[in-house]
Amino acid sequence: MILVREIRKTYGRVHAVRGISFAIEPGEVVGLLGPNGAGKSTTIRILTSYLTPDAGSVEIDGHDTRTDSLEARRRIGYLPESAPLYPEMTPGGYLDYRARLYGLPRPERRRAVGAAMDRCRITDVAGRRIGHLSKGYRQRVGLAAALLHDPPVLVLDEPSNGLDPSQIRETRSLVNELAARRTMVVSSHILPEVERLATRLLVIAAGQIRADGPMAELAGAAAGGGRYVAEVQGDTGEYLRLLRGIAGVRDVRAAPLNGSAWSRVTVETGPGAGDPRPAISGHAARIMLPLRELHEDKPSLEHLFLQLTEGTGTAPEEASPR
């Protein structure tokens, strides 16, 4: 588990991190999201003991990164941004070197290197120079190095940075596999990536946490309630009247679909309202109105991101820092 208490870091006059606190439980996959320069990398570097915070503390599995740094580091697998490696080494040699740094004894070292290479699918390039590998392969070598000692905590800084779409897909599926049984922090400014990987989001902007919570919860809260869309055929007057009577419904609108007898009905609920979909479909059935589609119109992560980081909205109450 990761416990961060009120960390602060300044570079000269620039306040990179201004009092960030959060706790990540075992098994959680947390997406650290924020615009460039928001303080994501600084936060990650403090988590991994690369930087010492000016104030505050970080605990990794109960080990303070300042007073018990080596033990804390032993429990983290870290993939820094753009996976810096030694180009003159081979993946096999590099992983063996990393295993030695972590003090793995010889038999365990061989097993760990082999397992990490298999897992990250780099066995076929084990003997080639890292400098001659594609960026995707280098990223996987970096991931294999982070996994070698089977750490309970994985920290990945921009794991898809600079990769092409197929490499991004491969890296994403690999990270998804790794997420099982581990506490994971994935930093990224690529929204769909975070959306697919993380079960919880930490949105950072200007060195502060703007939102913290599960994706669905944050998105719903940012939108101030739910939004549902139904498509029905025929006169919608009576139907709209019934829908307005559903508990928690704030607004109901209907718009005809071009060139057909079908209409799109939008139902908006207020914060804390339950799921109105059973009632929406039930009312259509009661007045014999053909209904061909009904879905929740989730606000996009992009919308949430812009709202939280550009100051166009405030972080919702249930999304406030823990």
Partner 1 sequence: MSSVWAIGRRELASMFRTPVGWVVIALFLLLTGAAFSVGLVPGQPASLRDFFAVSAWLLMPVAPAVSMRLFAEEHRTGAIEPLLTAPVSDAGAVAGKYLGAWLFLALMVAPTLLYPAVLWWVADPKPDLGQIGAGYVSLVLQGSLYLAIGTAVSAMTSSQTLAYLATLLPILGLLLVSRGASDSSLGGSGPMPEWARRTLQALSIPARASDFARGIIDTAHIAFFLVAALWCLFAAHAALDSRRWR
Binding map of partner 1 across residues 5-44, x = CB under 8 A, - = no contact: ------x---------------------------------
Site for partner 1 in 140-159 (CB under 8 A): 142, 145
Among 5, 8, 18, 74, binds partner 1 (CB under 8 A): 74
Tokens matching residue 231: 């498509």
Dihedral angle, C-alpha 163, 168, 49, 145, nearest 10 °: -90
Q: Of 97-105, 175-183, 210-218, 232-240, which part binds partner 1 (CB under 8 A)?
A: 97-105
Q: Of 67-75, 189-197, 214-222, 280-288, which part binds partner 1 (CB under 8 A)?
A: 67-75
Q: Of 99-107, 248-256, 263-271, 276-284, which part binds partner 1 (CB under 8 A)?
A: 99-107
322 in contact with partner 1 (CB under 8 A): no
CA separation for the pair 32, 20 (Å, rounded): 12
CA separation for the pair 69, 65 (Å, rounded): 4
The nearer residue to partner 1, 80 or 114, going by C-beta atoms, is: 80
The nearer residue to partner 1, 20 or 51, going by C-beta atoms, is: 51
C-alpha dist (Å) from residue 293 to 228, 230, 238, 297:
10, 5, 18, 12
The nearer residue to partner 1, 45 or 172, going by C-beta atoms, is: 45
The nearer residue to partner 1, 103 or 272, going by C-beta atoms, is: 103
Q: Which residue has the tokens 């799921």?
A: 275
CA separation for the pair 220, 211 (Å, rounded): 12
Among 6, 25, 26, 52, binds partner 1 (CB under 8 A): 52
Closest separation in Å from C-beta 45 to partner 1: 8
Among 14, 23, 55, 101, binds partner 1 (CB under 8 A): 101
Instruction: Give the residue among 123, 117, 125, 163 at the shortest CA–CA distance from 143.
Output: 117
The nearer residue to partner 1, 48 or 309, going by C-beta atoms, is: 48
The nearer residue to partner 1, 20 or 249, going by C-beta atoms, is: 20
49 in contact with partner 1 (CB under 8 A): yes
Amino acid at site 171: T
Closest separation in Å from C-beta 102 to partner 1: 6
Q: Are strands 63-64 and 55-60 parallel, antiparallel or unpaired?
A: antiparallel
Among 19, 37, 80, 299, binds partner 1 (CB under 8 A): 80
Please answer whether residues 189 and 35 qualify as being in contact, where contact means their C-beta atoms are separated by less than 8 angstroms. yes
**Would the CA dihedral through 97, 101, 106, 109 be positive or negative?**
negative
84 in contact with partner 1 (CB under 8 A): yes
- Please tell me the count of residues contacting partner 1 according to CB under 8 A: 30
Strand intervals (E) in the chain: 2-11, 14-24, 29-33, 55-60, 63-64, 76-79, 153-157, 183-188, 200-205, 208-214, 227-233, 249-256, 262-269, 291-296
57 in contact with partner 1 (CB under 8 A): no
DSSP3 helix / strand / coil % (the chain, rounded to 5): 35, 30, 35
Binding site for partner 1 (CB under 8 A): 11, 45, 48-52, 70-71, 73-74, 76, 78, 80-82, 84-86, 88-89, 93, 97-98, 100-103, 142, 145
